[in-house]
Amino acid sequence: MKKQPFSRRDFLKVAGVTLGASALTCSGLGYAATRTPEFETPELSYAKDNVMNNRILVTYATRAGSTVEVAAAIGESLNKRGFAVDVKPVNEKPKLANYQAVLMGSAVRMGSWLPEAVDFVKTNQQALNKMPVALFTVHLLNTGDDEASRNTRTAYLDIVRPLLNQAEEVYFAGKMDFARLSFLDKFIAGMVKAVEADQRDWDKIRNWAPAIFA
């Protein structure tokens, strides 16, 4: 069996740490503890010109940056297949009006999509349900092909799935880079003995061909 860099049980063990973090937040030290080292969350455009047909939005939520590079690789590869693609962070609240389809992705923290990604789905639910949508998730646990892994990773989207009529889902193994973590996340990673690893499978990411483009 493929060894996980750290286990779900480990994360449960640090639930107490998270509670401690809440106390820390109340004490005013929380901002410093949860502040992530700065990195770019760029807006990228893979379009030869300003074509408005077949224009795709790839939007993403990240904490430590690995999902940015995944989103960019998806954008680049769709562009090679003939689509005009914009890649934008959900935090920029991209408008959906100019797009024919949306690919939306989020990193996973403590068993769920990031809150800003969930908020984006809630805010744009009506529009999203009128257009083709596919979802990509970037995570490190439960990457196996066994049923338990599959069930646990699909649960990462339990909060957004009921909001969408139908959206294809794909799961990509991500990256653990301590230099990109906040003090608190680094502390949690240390507690669960997480190891630094880049498990992103670029062929799988670039070859992802959502059925909505068939």
Ligand X SMILES: Cc1cc2nc3c(=O)[nH]c(=O)nc-3n(C[C@H](O)[C@H](O)[C@H](O)COP(=O)(O)O)c2cc1C
63 touching ligand X, by CB under 6 A: yes
Q: Which is nearer to ligand X, 114 or 134 (CB)?
A: 114
Query: For the window 160-179, what string marks contact with ligand X as x by the rule CB under 6 A?
Result: --------------xxx---
185 touching ligand X, by CB under 6 A: yes
85 touching ligand X, by CB under 6 A: no
φ/ψ of 5, rounded to 5, equals -65, -30
Of 66, 77, 79, 149, the one binding ligand X (CB under 6 A) is 66
Give the contacts of 77 (CB within 8 A, at least 6 positions apart).
205, 206, 207, 208
Q: Report d(CA 209, CA 207) in Å as an integer.
A: 6
Q: Which is nearer to ligand X, 64 or 133 (CB)?
A: 64
Q: Report d(CA 114, CA 94) in Å as an integer.
A: 17
Task: Dig out the tokens for 101 from the structure.
Answer: 């389809």
* Closest residue to ligand X using C-beta atoms: 174
78 touching ligand X, by CB under 6 A: no
CA distances from 27 to 17, 35, 36 (A): 15, 15, 19
Please, are residues 62 and 68 in contact by the beta-carbon 8 Å criterion?
A: yes
- Cα-based torsion angle of the residue sequence 85, 95, 34, 158 in order, rounded to the nearest 10 degrees: -90
Query: For the window 135-154, what string marks contact with ligand X as x by the rule CB under 6 A?
Result: ---xxxxx------------
64 touching ligand X, by CB under 6 A: yes
Kindly state the smallest distance separating residue 41's Cβ from ligand X, in Å. Answer: 10
> Which residues of this chain interact with ligand X, rule CB under 6 A?
11, 62-67, 107-111, 138-142, 174-176, 181, 185, 188-189
